[in-house]
Each structure stands twice: as structure tokens, then as C-alpha cells.
């Protein structure tokens, strides 16, 4: 593996803390046992042959499977006391949330799942300050860390307005018609706050702020009190639908992605298994959601399975 990655016998030997002649002998013995040449050698480098490339990729798969076997064994052990902290906001991953948690608990019955709720002030749902191991988030999120994302589904952003407002009479509305409306803003880092105010879609028109809030409940109370309107993910309507509020599709506004995220420097063995559980459940339970064509103002829906 070291020679295949370094493509240089001397560097590979230094990396393995052995002599170059010893490494060369080991590679020659391996080639002899396989009956094929794995490397094309020159004075300055060593390049993989076609069989060598195949062998290298298979070795990667074997090592990955071995790591997974260790992870599964340790994480499923009752004595291991395995725990994983899962951060979320609002409805987390919507209908997928209970399915993911149930599936993960079936695979790791002795692992403890700690669900941690966060308000708008932390769009990373605990990842930035290491309060959580994984999190359901909605990019873009502010971070200087190496956080990885995997999209589970994409959905429309809807306009939330009081029933008594003239806006509630629309079946759908263009963002251009909302430039003069006051908005309820999230008390959050600028990049996330601006996304939920649709700053990039406003064509340079400044936004009027009627109130600032930290939670979905506070946002809806502000809207009902007449302080302004707000954008919200489509799934919010299913989980927080309250009397007196209307939810309206909007043309010309980009959609919202719901992602599972994790820090690459997290060594919790349950993290990759939780990500796999998210992938498996998303594939088995596709959510009807918006494609990225929404960015062009289209309201055409499609079903994705993240396969």
C-alpha cells in the first residue's frame, strides 16, 4: 500500500521505517506469489501496472471492510458503553428521523443515542464546539473546521404569512413581490441568516427586518403578531402547522438541503455507522422534494432516493 501511494520505494521505506532493499524484496516476493508485476520500476519512481492498480483497489476495499468489522464489533459490545450525540434543529430530518434512529438502534442495540436540540444561533447543531458527533443540518453553515456533508433530501422553501395577510390569498408568489415586505430574521451567524432571508435572490434589494428570533416557535409568534413574514423549509409545515398561518410556494428562490454532517477529526467508531444508517434509510424511503432547478424559479417536483 505504501509503495502504491508514494510511487517511490525510498519514500515508502522511510514511511514504513524499514530499509529500501527489505521493502523491495517483500514486493518481489508478493509479485512472485501472484505471478504478475505490480510495478513498473524506473530509477526515479515506481508506477502501478494495470494488475497493480486492480490489486491496490482491492486492498483498499479489504482494509475498509476490516475497519468496519472492528467498528461493528466494538460498537455493538454492551461493555463498550458506546454513545453517539446527534445534533439537530426543529424537525431534524423530518419523516426520516425516527426511521434512521430505529434502524441504527437495531444495528447497535447497546449504543446510546443522545439527541441534542439547538436553536438558530448554532446552525452546525453542536459540531463546531464538539458537543455532538453528527448532526442534521441545513447548509450553508459557518465553520472553519473540516466538516463533511451528505445530502439526504432537498425541499422547497415556503413563505410563512398570517392568514389575514393579502399574501395568503396567493397559490404561489414570486420573490420579486416580497421585496417591500418586512421579514422575521433568525438570530444566527451571517451566512445562515442571509440564506433564510434569501439575500442572494433579492437582486440587490435590501431586506426590511421586523423582528429577530431564535426558534421556530418564536418565528411563528412574530409572524402571527404582524412583525413580518419568513421563509421556512417545506417540511416545517407538516411539523409546525399552526392555526392562523399560511404556507405559500415561492418562485425564484433556491431550495433548502437537509444534510447529515460530521467532523472528520471525530474518532467515534459509531459516526460512520450512523452515516451508513442515514444512507440506507434515505435510499429505502425517498422523500418527494425539490431538485436544484428550484434555483431557476421552477416549482417542478421530483422524487430522489440519494442512491
Strands 134-137, 256-263: pairing is antiparallel
* CATH fold group of domain 78-154+256-304: D-Maltodextrin-Binding Protein; domain 2 (3.40.190)
Q: What is the pLDDT of residue 291?
A: 41
At the topology level of CATH, where does 157-251 sit? D-Maltodextrin-Binding Protein; domain 2 (3.40.190)
**Joined grid coordinates for residue 258:** 437537509
Helices (H) and strands (E) in the chain, counts: 9, 15
Residue of 186, 173, 160, 185 whose CA lies nearest to 242: 160
- Listing DSSP states for 138-170 in one string gives -S----SS-EEEEEEEEE-EEEEEETTSGGGG-
Domain ranges of the chain: 2-75, 78-154+256-304, 157-251
The whole-number average pLDDT for the span 22-29 is 85
Domain 2-75 identical in fold to domain 157-251: no
What per-residue confidence (pLDDT) applies to 304? 35
Q: What is the mean pLDDT of residues 133-159?
A: 91
Q: Does 1.10.10.10 match the CATH number of domain 2-75?
A: yes
CA atoms of 141 and 143, how far apart (whole Å): 6
How confident is the model at residue 144, as a pLDDT? Answer: 66
- Rounded-to-integer distance, Cα 139 and Cα 292, Å: 14
- How confident is the model over 49-67, as a mean pLDDT? 84
pLDDT bracket for residue 76 (50, 70, 90):
low
Which range, of 30-34, 180-184, 275-279, 292-296, averages the lowest pLDDT? 292-296
Whole-angstrom distance, CA of residue 260 vs CA of residue 55: 33
**3-class SS of residue 183:** strand
Amino acid 187: pLDDT: 97
Amino acid at each position: 500500500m505504501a509503495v502504491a501511494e508514494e510511487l517511490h520505494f525510498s519514500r515508502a521505506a522511510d514511511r514504513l521505517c524499514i530499509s529500501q532493499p527489505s521493502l523491495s524484496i517483500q514486493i518481489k516476493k508478493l509479485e512472485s506469489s501472484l505471478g504478475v508485476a505490480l510495478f513498473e520500476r524506473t530509477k526515479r519512481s515506481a508506477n502501478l501496472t494495470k494488475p497493480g492498480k486492480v490489486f491496490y483497489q482491492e486492498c483498499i476495499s479489504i482494509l475498509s471492510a476490516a475497519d468496519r468489522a472492528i467498528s461493528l464489533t466494538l460498537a455493538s459490545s454492551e461493555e463498550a458503553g458506546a454513545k453517539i450525540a446527534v445534533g439537530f434543529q426543529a424537525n431534524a430530518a423530518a419523516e426520516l428521523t425516527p426511521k434512521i434512529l430505529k434502524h441504527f438502534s437495531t444495528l447497535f442495540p447497546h449504543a446510546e443515542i443522545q439527541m441534542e436540540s439547538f436553536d438558530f444561533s448554532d446552525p452546525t447543531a453542536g459540531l463546531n464546539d464538539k458537543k455532538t458527533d453528527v448532526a442534521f443540518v441545513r447548509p450553508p453553515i459557518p465553520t472553519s473546521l473540516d466538516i463533511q456533508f451528505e445530502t439526504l433530501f432537498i425541499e422547497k422553501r415556503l413563505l410563512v404569512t398570517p392568514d389575514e395577510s393579502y399574501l395568503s390569498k396567493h397559490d404561489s408568489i414570486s420573490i420579486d413581490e416580497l421585496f417591500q415586505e418586512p421579514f422575521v430574521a433568525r438570530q444566527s451567524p451571517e451566512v445562515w441568516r442571509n440564506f433564510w432571508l434569501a439575500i442572494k435572490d433579492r437582486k440587490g434589494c435590501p431586506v426590511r427586518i421586523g423582528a429577530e428570533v431564535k426558534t421556530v416557535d418564536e418565528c411563528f409568534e412574530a409572524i402571527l403578531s404582524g412583525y413580518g413574514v419568513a421563509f421556512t423549509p417545506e417540511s416545517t409545515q407538516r411539523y409546525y402547522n399552526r392555526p392562523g398561518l399560511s404556507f405559500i410556494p415561492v418562485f425564484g428562490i433556491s431550495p433548502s438541503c437537509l444534510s447529515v454532517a460530521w467532523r472528520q477529526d471525530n474518532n467515534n467508531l459509531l459516526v460512520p455507522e450512523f452515516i451508513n444508517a442515514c444512507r440506507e434509510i434515505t435510499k429505502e424511503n425517498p422523500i418527494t422534494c425539490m431538485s436544484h432547478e428550484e434555483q431557476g424559479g421552477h416549482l417542478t417536483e421530483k422524487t430522489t432516493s440519494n442512491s
